[in-house]
Structure 1
Amino acid sequence: MRFFGFIVGGNSVETASFFVNRSLTSRMLLLGLPLLAAVLALIFFVTGGSLANLVNRAIARNTQLQTQAMSLALEQILVETRNQLLILAAGSMDRQEMARRLKFRSRADGLRYREVAFMGLTPENRYLLLNYGGEIIAVPPHVALDAPAGPFHNISPGQRPGHVNVSQPLEVVYSMVPIDKSLQSLAFYVLRFSTPIYDAAGNFQGILILSLDLNALRDTMSLYSSPEAPISAGAGTRVRSLFFDQDGWMLFQSENLDNDSGEKALRSDAVRAGFRGDFGRPGFSMAFRPGPEHLNYWTMVAEVQAGRSGRLPLSEVGTAWNSGQMRVESVSYAPVTFMPNPEGPRVVVGGLAMLDSSFTSTHAGIQLLSIYTLCFLGGLLLLGLSLWWLARNMGRSLNLLSGELRSRNEDDSAEPLNLPPLPLELEAIKQNVDTLLNRLRRARADQRSQAAAQTALWQREAVEDLPDPADLPTRGLVGASLPMQALYGQVQKASQVLADVLIVGETGTGKELVSESIHRLSARADGPFITINCGALDEALLMDTLFGHVKGAFTEAKQARKGAFLAAEGGTLMLDEVGNATPKVQQALLRALSTRCIRPLGSDHDVPFDTRIIAATNAELRGDGQDGSFRDDLYYRLAVITIHTPPLRQRKEDIPALMVHFMNEAVKTREPGMPRTIPRISRGALEKLMRHHWPGNVRELKNTLTRALTFCDGDLILAENIQLDPGGQPVNDTPDGKASRESRTPEETKGGEPDTHRDPPARPAPTSEQGTGEAPSVPNPDQLNHRQRELLPRLAVLGSVSRQEYQNLAGKGISMRTAQYDLQQMVRLGLMRKEGRGPAQRYVIVQPGGQTPADKGRPR
C-alpha cells in the first residue's frame, strides 16, 4: 500500500516508516496486543478468585440437590410399596385371589414386588407366593420354613391396623422350588414390608408381607446417577452412587444404564475399592463394612443415622476412595427414610452416598472462557480505537475485494479477480481465493457423488432383522404394535360374551379377520361363520339372502331357502358394509335383532334364530344416523360392543411382519410367475413402504407386495420393484375400482351356503338399448383372464348361463365368488348382459352388433 502526504523530518519520519513498512499483521500485533494483554491481565486478576468460589459453590449445591432428589425418589418407591401392601391387606387373603392380584401388579410394575406372604394364626392359613419372570409361583410351606431368611421367621407381633414395618435389606434363597416341572433354587435381594391383618370384628388374623426387589432401588439410583436423570449435574459429570444400611454396611452401587443394569446382580466392588473391612452381614452375604480407621466414612454414616444430609469436599474425602479404581472429588450423602404410619415419625432405612469423580472444580478454568470473552470484547473497544486509522485506509481495498468475491460467488465464476494492486496480505488472499473456491467446488461435487453412491449401495442392502415366518400366525391378525395389542384385547373380551358386535374401520383394515377371530375364540367356534356383504347386493336379493323364503313365495321359488340368519344357527353371522343397507333392510334387521325372530318371504310365522350378529362398516354410523341415512335405533342394537380396527398408517411398525406374512403366503400358493422362496427385501424398498401413507391399509400393502414379487427378477426386492399410487389413494386391482379379494383364500361357510356376497356390485356396460345406440366395441383379449378366454366360445354356443352353470363349466374347484366376479367383468366389457333378479338371474351372451342369440331375426 502507498501513502501520499507530507512527512516532516526527524523522529516523525522514523515512526511513520516503521509502521508503513510493516505488514498488516505486524501493525496489529505491535499496537493492539499490548493494550489488550494489559486489560485481560487486570480483569483476570480481579475476577478469577471470585469466579472459582462461585463455581465451587454451584457444583456443591448441584450435587447435593441431585443426592436429595435421588433420596426422595427412593423414598417414593418405599411409599408406593407401603401403599401397595395396604391395598393388598384391604382385600381377601385367599391365596388364589392374592396370586391373581400379584400377577396383575407384575404386569403393571414388572418384577418390582418379589414376594407376597401371609402368616396366619394356623399353619394351614400360611402361604408364600413368588414373582419369578412375571409368573406367580406358590412355594411349599416346608421350603419357605427351611429358608434361613424366609418370611415366616422373625416377624414382629401385630400392631394397630395401617402400621407397616420395614425390615433390613435381605438376601433370601429358596431351594427346591417347583418351576416348569423342575426343582430350582431362587435367590432374591429384597426389602420386606409387613402389616397386621384384622377381620371386620377387629380380631387379629395374621401378618401380610410384601417384598420389594432391591434391583428397583438400584435401577432408580442408576437413573439418577446418569446424565439422563431428571436432576443431573450435566452430560460430562461422572458420578457413582452407593446405598448403605443404617449400620453402615455397603450393600450395592449404581450401574451404567448402557449396560442393562436390570439384568445384573447387586454389587459394590467399584465403590468399596480402596477400603479395608469385613464382608458378609447376617442375612446379606455380599454386604461390606469398612473398618474403623475410615473415620470420614463413619462420620457420614453417623450423620445419616441422625437423619441429616451433607457433603464431604475433596479435603475430607480421604485416601480410601482416591486410591481405588476411581478418583473422587467430593461425596454427597443423604438419608433414606420411611414412615410406618402416615402420622408417625420417620425411621432411617439406609443412606445414599453420591461419589463425584468429574473434578469439575479443578477444571474451572475452562469455564473462565466466558469471562475471557467479556474481557476480550472490552479490549476490542480499545484496540478498535487504535486500529481505526488503519481501517480507514484499508476499507477501500477490502470493499473492492469483497465486491469481487461476491460477484464471483453469485456467478459461480472461476475467473481471476480483477483488482488494482493491493497490500501484501490482501494480494496473497486474492491469489489464493480462486484456487480455494475451485477446490471447494470440486470437493463438494466429489462429496455429492460419493454420498449418492453410498446411498444407492445402502438402499440395495438386504434387511437382516425381519421376522421369521415361523414366528408369525398362519391365519388371522398379524402385528404386535400397541394398537394391535389393544385390538387383541378387545377381540379376546368380545369373544367371551354373546353380545352383538359392531366393527368400525377403514377399508382394508381386516374387519372380516377380526370377525373371524371373535367367532373362532368364542363358544360358537364349532358353529358356522357366514359373511354377507350388504353393499354388494340389491335390496330384494339381500332380503332374500338374509331372511330366506318359502317354496312358492315367488315365481322362481321352486324350493325353500333358509336364509343367512338360519343358516348361521349356533354360529356367527357377519353383516359387512352394513351402512350401505337400504332403509327397508335396516327396518327388517332392527326387527330381527329386537325379537330374535325372522319371517321368511311368503311365510306367515316368525322363526326364532340363535345366531350371533357381527356388523362391520367403514363409515361412522353415528354420524350417518344423525343425517337420517342410518337408523339410530338399529345403530344402538348393533353397537353393544364396538371395536375400531386401526388403519395401517397408525401401526407402521407392523409393516415388516405383514410383509413377511404376505410374501410367505404368496410363495406358498405357487402361482405362476411367483418365486419359490421368500426373497429378501432391500433397505430402500422397506424405507419406501414405511414412508407411504397407505390409504388402502393392509389390502393395499398386500397388493403392492404381490406386484413386487411379480416384478422381482432375483432374490432381492428393490425399491424400484415397489410400485405405489403416486396420488396416495388405495391401489385398485379390479376394473370397478375396488381392491380384489381373489388373492385371499376363499372360505366356504359352515352353514351349507358358500360366501358369495362379498363381490363388488357389477357395472353394466352400455348396450345398444341402454346407451348410445351403437354396438359395444370388441374388448381387448388381454382384458380377459385365461379362464374367461377358454370358456367364451362355449358360452357363445349356450347363449346364456347362470352363475352356478358357469362355475360347473369352469371346474377346477373355483369358488362361487370367483365365478360371479368373472361374469360381472364380462358384463362390464359388453360381452354379456344380466336378465332377471335374485336366484333366477342369468347372464346372456351379446353377439356382435349388440344382439343376444334370442334377438337374431328380430327387426331392428
Structure 2
Amino acid sequence: MRIFLPVIAGNSLKTASLFVNRSILSQMLLLGLPLLAFVLLLLFYTNGRIVENIVNHTVARNAQFQTRIMALALEQLLAEARNHLLILAAGALDKQSMVRRLKLQIRSSNFHYREIAFIGLAPENKYLLLNYMGDIITVPPDVTMRTLSGPFHNVGSARLPGRVNVGQPLEVSYAFVPVSNSVQSLTFHVLRFSTPVHDAKGNFQGVLALSLDLAAMRDVVSAFSSDGAAGDGKESTNVRSLFFDRDGWMLFQSEKPNVEQRETPLSSDTVRAGFRGDFGRPGFSQAFRPAPDYLNYWDMVINVQNRRVGRISLPETGALWGDGQLRVEGVNYVPVTTPADTDDERNVIGGLAVLDSSFTATRTGTQLFSVYAFCFFGGMLLLGICLARITRAADKQLHALAVELQSRNEQNRDDPLVLPLLLPALEKIKGASNILLERLHGAMEHRLFRQAEATALSQREPVEDLPEPGNVPSHGLVGFSAVVQSLKSQVQKAAQVKADVLIVGETGTGKELVAEAIHQASERADGPFIAINCGALDEALLMDTLFGHVQGAFTEAKHPRKGAFLAAEGGTLLLDEVGNATPKVQQALLRTLATRRIRPLGADYDVPFDTRILAATNAELTGENTGGTFREDLYYRLAVITIRTPSLRNRKEDIPALLMHFLAEAVTARRPGMSRTIPKISRGALARLMRYDWPGNVRELKNILTNALTFCEKNLILAENIPIESGDDAPAMSHEGGEWYADKPGLAAAQRAQDNDWGKKFVQLNPRQKEILPRIMSLGSVSRQEYRALAGDNISVRTALYDLQAFVRLGIVRKEGRGPALRYLVVSSGDALDRAKGYTV
C-alpha cells in the first residue's frame, strides 16, 4: 500500500495526528505485526531447540529398549526350542513313543515345531515326522532321502553329549507326502536344531533334529510390532521389524497379527521396498540381499556379526532406507544369539532390525505447533486490545449497515436504507446498496423462476448414459463396483477349494445367489444344488429333511428317505438361515461336519457323504449381540471361509446396472400382448433411487422397479412412479404391521390390510410351499396325493401332511370331507397372493 502524506515536523501532537490519520490497515501493520513477530520468533527458537534434543534422545532410547525386548523374546523362543530338543533326546526315541509324546505336547501347549527327525546308525532307526496343522505326519523314507534340504542331509556331525548344533534358516520342501488321505507337497521355513544321542553306556546312537517354524519367530516380532503392544491401550509407534541372517539375507518381516497368521507365507516385501540386490539364497528362495552400495545396511550387518547393538538415525546421516520408498526415521538393530558350547559365548544366528516410521519427533512438532498457535492467538488478543479503540466506531456503523442489508435480503424488501450519518466511505456504500437492492430483487425472482423451470424439465428427461442391457449380465452377480468385483473374486477363490463356506449378509443381499455362483464355478457344478431353509421348518421336520430316515423309522415311514446331505451327493448343500436352527439341530450338524457322515433316523449305521456345505445367515452368529444361542464350535466348522455380501447402500454405484437387469427381467416375463420394450428412466427417478438408503437391499430394489414398471406411462419411469421416501419431494409412505406400502391411487385401506395379512402368511412358508402355492391357487383345491404329485420330488406322506396342515393353520386353505374324500379348499383367490408378494418388502 502506498501513502502520499508528507512527514510533519513539530511536536508530539502532530506526530500522533499523522498516525491517527492513517487507514485502519496501516495502523494494524505498524502497531501489531512487529510485536507479534518478536514474541513468536523468541518462543519458537527457544522451545524448538530444547524439545528437539529431548525428543530425539527419548525416542532413540525407547526404540532401542523395544528392540532389545523383541530380541530377548526371540532368544527365549530359541532357548525353548533347544530345551525341547534335549528333553526329547532324553526320552524314548522309537517312532511310536515319539509320536505319542509329540501329540501330547501339541494338545497341551503352543507347539512351534515343523520337523522331528531321528537319524540312527541303522537304516531302520531313521524316521522323519512333520507337524502339519496339528497332525503328526510320517514322511516316507524315499521322500526323505530325495529332499536334499531335509534333516538327513543337513545335521551337525558333532558327537559330544549334550551339544546342540543350530543350523541356518532353511526352506525345505517335501514332495508327495500323504496328508489326510491325499498326497500333497509341503514347504516349510525352519531353523533346525540337532543334538547327538547316546545310550546309558555313552555309546553314540544317532542324531535327533528338531526344526523351529520361522513363522513362530515372525509371530513374536509381529506381536511386539502391532498396535497396542505397549499395553497402555493406545496405539504404539508405527514400526516394522525385519529378521536377517548372519550373512545379511533378509528373511521375513513382521505382519499384522490375525487368527490365521501362522499359515501366512513369510515375506519381506515392505521392508525391502526400493532396495536393489540379489533375490533367492541357496536353501531359502524367498531371501533377499541388498546390493553392496547400501552402506548403512551392511554396516548394520557387520555390527550384528560382531554382536554389537546400535541405531541408524537416517535423517542425521542423510541416507535413505531403500532409496526412500519406505519413509523411515531410524533403524535399531540387535543380534539374535543362541548359547554356544561354552557358557561365556553365544552364537549369532541373525539380526533383528526395527524400522521406526512413526516420526515421533514430527508428531511432537505438530503438538508444539498447537502451543505456538495458542501463543499466536494470545499475541492476536494483545493486538486486538490495541486496535479495539481504533476500530470500535467503524465496526458499529458497519454492523448497523450489515443488519439493515440482511433484513432487506431476508424479507425481499427494496425500500432505501435509513441510517444515521455514517463515515463518508460508508455513505457511498449505503447509496450503492440502495440501488443494488432493487436490481437484485428483480434478478432473483427471474433466476428462481428459470431455475425451477429448468429443474422440472431436467428431472423428466430420460437418462441416456445408463448401461446397455446387453452389457449387463442376465444372471448371477450383477454389478461393476469394487465391492462386487471383490465379491466375485472371493466366489471364484472359494469355488476352487473344497472347504465349507459361511455367507453372511443382510436380508435381500443375494446370499443364495452367491451360493449358487460358488456351486456353478466349482468342480461340482454338474452335481445337484440343494437349498434348505433352516428357519422355515420345525425341529423334527428339519432333522428328517436333512438326514432322512429308513423305512419303518416311524409310523408313516413306509419308504426310506435319503435326506438333503445324500440328495446333494457330488454337489452342494446350502443351509439357509442356519442361525435359526435349534440346539438339537446344531448338535447334529456339528457331528455331521466333523465326521462327514450322517445317521438317518432309525438307522444303526453311519452313511458317508460327499457334499460341499455352504451356510447362509442374515445375522452375526458370534459376539455379544447374539445371546449365545449359536454354538461357537459349529460356527468355526462352518466359517472355514467367510464371505460377506455387501448391502446395497454400500454399493449404490451398481444401481444403474441392477436397474437395467431387473427391468429387462420384468419386461421379459410380461404376458403376451404387453410391451416388451425396456422403459427409460428419468433423471428425477434415478436421483430418487440413488438417494434412498435401501433397508431391504437388492430385493427391495427389484420390487420397487416392478411396481414402477406397472404404473409408468409412455415408456418412461418418472420420479412419482418410484414408491419410496427419498427426500422432501418423495411420495408419502405408510408403515403398517412392520411392512412398507406406498399410497398408490386405487389402493384402499381394506385392500392394504388384506395384502399385508397375506404377506405375513407368505413369508412363513418354506421354499417348497411357496413354489407349490400358486398352482394350488389355480386348481382351487388339492388332496394329499395331489400335493405329493405337485411337489415332484417324492416327498413323504408325513411331509405332505405337515405342509397342508401349515396351510390350514395360516388360513390359506380349509379342510372339507373325511377319509379318502378329504380335500383342502383354497380360501381366497390368487390375486391376493400376487399383491402380497408385490407389495411386501
**TM-score, normalised to structure 2's length?**
0.51
Partner of 2:576: none
Does the Cα contact within 8 Å between 1:806 and 1:819 map onto a contact in 2? Answer: no
Structure 1 distance, partners of 2:149, 2:791, is 76
Partner of 2:479: 463
Residue 167 (1) aligns with residue 183 (2): no
Partner of 1:38: 38
- The CA deviation at 1:298 is 5.2
- The CA deviation at 1:389 is 1.9
Structure 1 counterpart SS, 2:334: strand
Letter aligned with residue 768 of structure 2: R
Deviates more, 1:352-361 or 1:16-25: 352-361
Residue 353 (1) aligns with residue 353 (2): yes
User: What is the number of equivalent residue pairs in this alignment?
Assistant: 635
Q: What pairs with 1:314-463 in structure 2 (closer than 5 Å)? A: 330-337=330-337, 348-355=348-355, 368-397=368-397, 399-400=399-400, 421=422, 462-463=478-479
- The CA deviation at 1:376 is 2.0
Does the Cα contact within 8 Å between 2:130 and 2:139 map onto a contact in 1? Answer: yes
Letter aligned with residue 41 of structure 2: A
Partner of 2:251: 252
Once the two structures are superposed, residues 675-694 of structure 1 have per-residue CA deviations (whole angstroms, 9 ceiling, x without a partner) of xxxx9xx999999998459x
Once the two structures are superposed, residues 420-444 of structure 1 have per-residue CA deviations (whole angstroms, 9 ceiling, x without a partner) of 6468699989979999xx9xx99xx
Letter aligned with residue 128 of structure 2: L
Structure 1 distance, partners of 2:159, 2:375, is 71
Structure 2 distance, partners of 1:414, 1:187, is 85
Residue 653 (1) aligns with residue 644 (2): yes
Does the Cα contact within 8 Å between 1:322 and 1:328 map onto a contact in 2? Answer: no
Structure 1 counterpart SS, 2:250: strand
Change (3 A) 1:96 1:323: same
Partner of 1:596: none
Partner of 2:761: 737
Percent sequence identity is 33
- The CA deviation at 1:456 is 14
Q: What pairs with 1:588-667 in structure 2 (closer than 5 Å)? A: 653=644
Once the two structures are superposed, residues 541-571 of structure 1 have per-residue CA deviations (whole angstroms, 9 ceiling, x without a partner) of xxxxx6xxxxxxxxxxxxxxxx247877999
Change (3 A) 1:459 1:287: closer
Structure 1 distance, partners of 2:792, 2:384, is 96
Structure 1 distance, partners of 2:115, 2:210, is 6
Does the Cα contact within 8 Å between 1:250 and 1:288 map onto a contact in 2? Answer: yes
Structure 1 distance, partners of 2:537, 2:812, is 33
Partner of 1:786: 778
Once the two structures are superposed, residues 782-802 of structure 1 have per-residue CA deviations (whole angstroms, 9 ceiling, x without a partner) of 9982211xx7xxxxxxxxxx9
Does the Cα contact within 8 Å between 2:63 and 2:332 map onto a contact in 1? Answer: yes
Change (3 A) 1:511 1:140: same
Structure 2 distance, partners of 1:83, 1:513, is 57
Letter aligned with residue 249 of structure 2: M
Structure 2 distance, partners of 1:313, 1:742, is 68
Among 524, 536, 560, the alignment partner of 1:508 is: 536
Structure 1 distance, partners of 2:804, 2:264, is 61
Change (3 A) 1:363 1:564: closer
Letter aligned with residue 653 of structure 1: R
Does the Cα contact within 8 Å between 1:304 and 1:334 map onto a contact in 2? Answer: no
Partner of 1:581: none
Q: What pairs with 1:516-531 in structure 2 (closer than 5 Å)? A: 519=547, 527-528=550-551
Structure 2 distance, partners of 1:358, 1:119, is 49
Once the two structures are superposed, residues 325-346 of structure 1 have per-residue CA deviations (whole angstroms, 9 ceiling, x without a partner) of 87976431123356899x9998
Change (3 A) 1:566 1:514: closer
Partner of 1:154: 155
Does the Cα contact within 8 Å between 1:244 and 1:350 map onto a contact in 2? Answer: yes
- The CA deviation at 1:32 is 0.9
Once the two structures are superposed, residues 517-548 of structure 1 have per-residue CA deviations (whole angstroms, 9 ceiling, x without a partner) of 7526xxx7xx3598xxxxxxxxxxxxxxx6xx
Once the two structures are superposed, residues 653-707 of structure 1 have per-residue CA deviations (whole angstroms, 9 ceiling, x without a partner) of 36899xx9xx99xx9xx99979xxxx9xx999999998459xxxxxxx99x8997
Structure 1 distance, partners of 2:809, 2:320, is 93
- Unpaired segments of 5 or more residues in structure 1? 1-7, 489-504, 531-545, 547-562, 573-607, 614-638, 694-700, 748-757, 760-781, 792-801, 847-860
Once the two structures are superposed, residues 403-426 of structure 1 have per-residue CA deviations (whole angstroms, 9 ceiling, x without a partner) of 568868988999998766468699
Does the Cα contact within 8 Å between 1:113 and 1:211 map onto a contact in 2? Answer: yes
Structure 2 distance, partners of 1:844, 1:267, is 71
Structure 1 distance, partners of 2:54, 2:101, is 56
Q: What pairs with 1:156-195 in structure 2 (closer than 5 Å)? A: 166-172=166-172, 188-193=188-193
Change (3 A) 1:415 1:479: farther
Structure 2 distance, partners of 1:178, 1:829, is 60
Q: What pairs with 1:651-800 in structure 2 (closer than 5 Å)? A: 653=644, 691-692=695-696, 727-728=737-738, 737=761, 739=763, 741=765, 743-744=767-768, 785-788=777-780
- The CA deviation at 1:166 is 4.4
Partner of 1:4: none
Once the two structures are superposed, residues 59-90 of structure 1 have per-residue CA deviations (whole angstroms, 9 ceiling, x without a partner) of 32343345346546645765787799899999
Q: What pairs with 1:786-825 in structure 2 (closer than 5 Å)? A: 786-788=778-780, 803=783
Structure 1 counterpart SS, 2:27: helix
Does the Cα contact within 8 Å between 2:502 and 2:638 map onto a contact in 1? Answer: no
Change (3 A) 1:746 1:565: farther
Partner of 2:652: none
Structure 2 distance, partners of 1:294, 1:652, is 47
Structure 1 distance, partners of 2:413, 2:70, is 62
Does the Cα contact within 8 Å between 1:227 and 1:237 map onto a contact in 2? Answer: yes
Once the two structures are superposed, residues 268-295 of structure 1 have per-residue CA deviations (whole angstroms, 9 ceiling, x without a partner) of 99489599x9996898995759989969
Structure 2 distance, partners of 1:68, 1:141, is 42
Change (3 A) 1:479 1:50: closer
Does the Cα contact within 8 Å between 1:113 and 1:131 map onto a contact in 2? Answer: yes
Residue 29 (1) aligns with residue 35 (2): no
Structure 2 counterpart SS, 1:26: helix
Does the Cα contact within 8 Å between 2:197 and 2:206 map onto a contact in 1? Answer: yes
Change (3 A) 1:10 1:810: closer
Change (3 A) 1:264 1:832: closer
- The CA deviation at 1:725 is 8.1
- The CA deviation at 1:811 is 12
- The CA deviation at 1:350 is 2.5
Q: What pairs with 1:51-200 in structure 2 (closer than 5 Å)? A: 51-68=51-68, 70-71=70-71, 74=74, 78=78, 114-119=114-119, 122-128=122-128, 139-152=139-152, 153-155=154-156, 166-172=166-172, 188-193=188-193
Does the Cα contact within 8 Å between 2:813 and 2:824 map onto a contact in 1? Answer: no
Structure 1 counterpart SS, 2:57: helix
Structure 1 distance, partners of 2:161, 2:411, is 89
Once the two structures are superposed, residues 313-367 of structure 1 have per-residue CA deviations (whole angstroms, 9 ceiling, x without a partner) of 45986979698987976431123356899x9998654222235578876998766
- Unpaired segments of 5 or more residues in structure 2? 1-7, 473-477, 516-532, 565-600, 607-629, 649-657, 673-677, 679-685, 711-716, 725-732, 741-754, 828-841
Change (3 A) 1:23 1:359: same
Does the Cα contact within 8 Å between 1:509 and 1:647 map onto a contact in 2? Answer: no
- The CA deviation at 1:31 is 0.8
Does the Cα contact within 8 Å between 1:732 and 1:739 map onto a contact in 2? Answer: no
Does the Cα contact within 8 Å between 1:310 and 1:332 map onto a contact in 2? Answer: yes
Structure 2 distance, partners of 1:241, 1:304, is 18
